[in-house]
Each structure stands twice: as structure tokens, then as C-alpha cells.
Amino acid sequence: MNVAAVPVLDAVARSLREGFFMFWETLWPLVLGFGLSGAVQSFVSREALQQKMGDHGPRSVARASAYGMVSSSCSYAASAMAKSLVTKGADFVTSLTFMFASTNLVLELGIVLVVLMGWQFAAAEYVGGVIMIVLLAALGGLWFTGRAVAEARRRVRSETSSAHHHEPAEDLERQAEPWSSKLRSTGGWADAATYTMADLTMLRRELVVGYTVAGFLAVLVPSHVWNVVFLYGHGFWTSLENAVVGPLIAILSFVCSIGNVPLAAALWHGGISFGGVIAFIFADLITLPLLLIYRRYYGGRMTLRMLALFWAIMATAGLLTEGIFGLLGIIPTTRPKTVAAAHFQWDYTTYLNIVFLVLFGALYWTYRNRERLGGGGGYALDPVCGMQVRTADAPASVIHDGRSVWFCSDHCRHRFEADPTRFSGAPPASGLPELHAGTTP
């Protein structure tokens, strides 16, 4: 072997090891967070929250935020559901509010932040998330107005119409039952397990890329490089520059949803300010792939408007959150020398990981046997990403080989239509009949 290659291989190995132990450190909170999210999505009725979103007043914004909090944390799914709300007549700003809440106020994000970075970052995520929603509600009505919104709504309705999207009758019997009955329902827990597995399947790429890239950043990027990217030692100007640059790194990183938490840990390790880290985490909704999706949904002009306002709101929220936490004296004063301990040890993390791996096995068994346990009614699995979607409000669907296929987003629908033979092995939704082309459920 070439001697010169040894240091390179050693650096790669250390980076991958660092990334793996970041994952190991957060394994049990990932299972816990996604498990809780799956249960919430299965048992909590969302129909009441979807109603009365025709404006962006306080009540509508609160409903949209609550709906987002009980939804999947995937940025792609959040953008698709926001588009679906716009199509159904919801206010444009209120629909975007749902999208912000879905990716910043969900359970699993806070749990992972606590374990990997500390409770201060989890608290800042929720405080800043509320600040962002308030800013969006206040400024969105001034920024998204008139012809721009009308054209975006016309475009998205035309896109939905051309997709031949059909909506079957909704099955809401279980969600209308008392909590005592719902929690004893094996079918409900089967659906909860399916939501958990579907969300993990859908976000596997984000998680793998996030932990891998974070490992390389933590090991290979020296401190003086971060000091070039982020100002240091200039007081308020440091905080301002870091909060503005944080979203730029998110745009270029291509990593969204919960996968950007390990990247945030690496950036904090590298020297970015507290507010810059928070702004970076918020900016998972303006990564380049999502900007391309917004362009297809709403057009280029509206996408530029969304990028400008989102960036300003995310940077401002990060800066304000840093100010609030600074006044309270709860910003961490030390930075970890390493993001995660790069070795196994018998501590609470290892014991919890073993317990939750057993729980994950039980969830997986329940998911595999969901139909036998009475789950799956009114649901379908997106054949492209694996997400479980309710057929009553799936953002996209097509008729393929005489049966309906449902998707979490138009992004997945387009991938399916480009190569249907690759993805067409998924079974039809449980409890729903196969259809002939041209018919409506």
C-alpha cells in the first residue's frame, strides 16, 4: 500500500468512527422520538385542526402549529402537506405555518437535541420555533399578497389536477373513539408502529448523510477554518454574522429534517455561535432540494419570495433566541472537545440503547404484522420513500395498472412516474379496493 495513503485512510476511518458514535449516542432517543411521533400520528385526530384555516389570524395559526406538531418531521412531507392545504383552500401563510411547526416543534427533534447537544439547544429550538411562527404570521401577510399568491395557488391547483389526485372517503372511526378505547386498540398500535417505521425509512438518507458528514466535519476541519467562515470575538456582529451564515450552510448541505442535528453539533464544536447553530437547524426548510420543490409547486418568483422571507425569519429567530438565552444566562459557556466519545462503554447510554433496540424489534414485528393486528385501514405506504400516508389526504396519487398508488409528496410521485417498474411492487392500501384507470375512489 502507498505510504502516503495511510494518513488519508486513517482520517477517513476516524471520521466514520466519530459519525458512528454520534449515532450510537442518539440511538435510544431516535427510537423513542420516532415511536412517540408514530403514536401521536396514529391516535390524535387532525381533522379539527385542519378546519378553519382560511386566514392567518391567531386561531388559524395556532391550529396549523398544533397540526404540524403532531405530524411527521420530514421536511419533504411537510412541504407536500403544506401544498395540499393550499390546494384545499387554506390560507397560504397558515399553510406555511404548518410546515414550520412540522419541522421545528416535533418531539423527536427535541429529544435528539437534548442527548446530543444539551437541554439548552432543545429549549432554544422550541422557543425559536415559536418566534419564527409569530414572525411568519406577522410578516407573511405583508410579503405574500395579491397576484403572487393568486398565481401560486393557481399553479399548485393545476399541478394537483394534472396528477389525477383522488380522495377516498375518510376512515375516522378510531380517532373519534375515547382515549381509553384507542389506547387498547391493537390496530391503532399497529398503525403507530407503521408510522414509526415509515418515518425512519423515509429519513434514512438524511440520517446517514447527516451523521457521516458531521463525523468528517468534527475530525477533519480545524478550528482556524471555522474562524474564517464565522466571525469570532466581535460581540453583536459575531452573533449577527453567524445567524445569517448558518442558513447558508444549511442550503448547501442538502441535509434536512432531523439529519441536520449531528451537523449542528459539529458546527457548535467548530465554533459557531449559539444563535448561528439554532438558525442552521431552522434552515432545513430552505435546503437546495426543497427550493427546487417549491419552484415546481409555486413557481420561481414565489420561491424567491419564500427563500428571502424564510432566511430572514430563521436568522432573526436565531439571533433573538440567543439574546433571550443570553439574558437568562443559560447559553453553554464551554464547547465539547469531541462531539461524542469514540468508544463503547458500559454506561446509561449503552443500557438504554439495548432496551430500545428490543423495543425497536417489537415495533418492527408489529409493523410487519399490521394487517393481522387490524391496522392499515385507510392507509397506504408510499412505494418510493416508504412513508405511511392516509389515503384520505395523501398529497399525491396516480392510477397504475388498475390500482391507486398514494405518495407523501409530488417529489415521490414524479420519481415513481419516471420509473414505475422500479417501485410498483407495493401492495394497494389495506381495506381499499383496486381501481380501474379513470375511476374515482
C-alpha cell at position 266: 459539529
Cα–Cα distance, 46 to 100 (Å, whole number): 17
pLDDT at residue 173, rounded to an integer? 60
Which region among 15-19, 165-169, 191-195 has the lowest average model confidence (pLDDT)?
A: 165-169
What domains sit in the chain, N to C, each tagged with a CATH number? 5-168+177-368 (no CATH), 379-423 (2.30.170)
Question: What is the mean predicted confidence (pLDDT) over 77-103?
Answer: 81
pLDDT at residue 49, rounded to an integer? 52
What is residue 395's DSSP assignment?
S
- DSSP assignment of 48-117 equals HHHSS-SS-SHHHHHHHHHHHHTS---HHHHHHHHHHHHHTT--HHHHHHHHHHHHHS-HHHHHHHHHHT
- DSSP assignment of 157-169 equals HHHHHHTT---PP
Helix orientation angle between 146-162 and 75-87, rounded to the nearest 10 degrees: 100
Model confidence pLDDT, tens digit, residues 12-58: 888 888 888 878 877 887 788 678 767 876 776 655 555 556 667 78
Model confidence pLDDT, tens digit, residues 122-142: 999 999 999 999 999 999 988
Backbone angles phi, psi at 141, to 5 degrees: -65, -25
pLDDT at residue 164, rounded to an integer? 40
CA dihedral 133, 136, 141, 145 (to 10 degrees): -130
Q: At residue 171, does pLDDT exceed 50? A: no
Cα–Cα distance, 277 to 245 (Å, whole number): 10
Q: At residue 186, does pLDDT exceed 80? A: yes
The b/e string for 17-28 (b: 16+ C-beta within 10 A; e otherwise) is ebbebbbbbbbb
pLDDT at residue 430, rounded to an integer? 45
Q: At residue 240, does pLDDT exceed 50? A: yes
pLDDT at residue 146, rounded to an integer? 78
Q: At residue 429, does pLDDT exceed 50? A: no
Q: At residue 268, does pLDDT exceed 50? A: yes
pLDDT at residue 299, rounded to an integer? 85
Tell if the pTM clears 0.85, that is, is over it.
no
Alpha helices in 369-438 (DSSP H): 410-418, 420-423
Angle at 77 between CA 74 and CA 83, to 5 degrees: 140
Model confidence pLDDT, tens digit, residues 374-412: 776 677 888 888 777 777 667 788 888 888 888 887 778
Q: Give the C-alpha distances (Å, rounded to integers) separating 109 from 80, 330, 385.
A: 20, 20, 20
CB atoms within 10 A of CB 434: 12
The mean of the pLDDT values for the chain is: 79
Question: For the chain, what percent of residues have pLDDT higher than 70?
Answer: 80
pLDDT at residue 360, rounded to an integer? 93
Question: What is the mean predicted confidence (pLDDT) over 166-171?
Answer: 35
Q: At residue 248, does pLDDT exceed 80? A: yes
Is the backbone of residue 107 left (phi > 0), alpha (psi -120 to 50) or beta?
alpha
**1-5, 71-75, 109-113, 392-396: which is most confident:** 109-113
Higher pLDDT, 432 or 373: 373
Question: For the chain, what percent of residues have pLDDT higher than 90?
Answer: 19
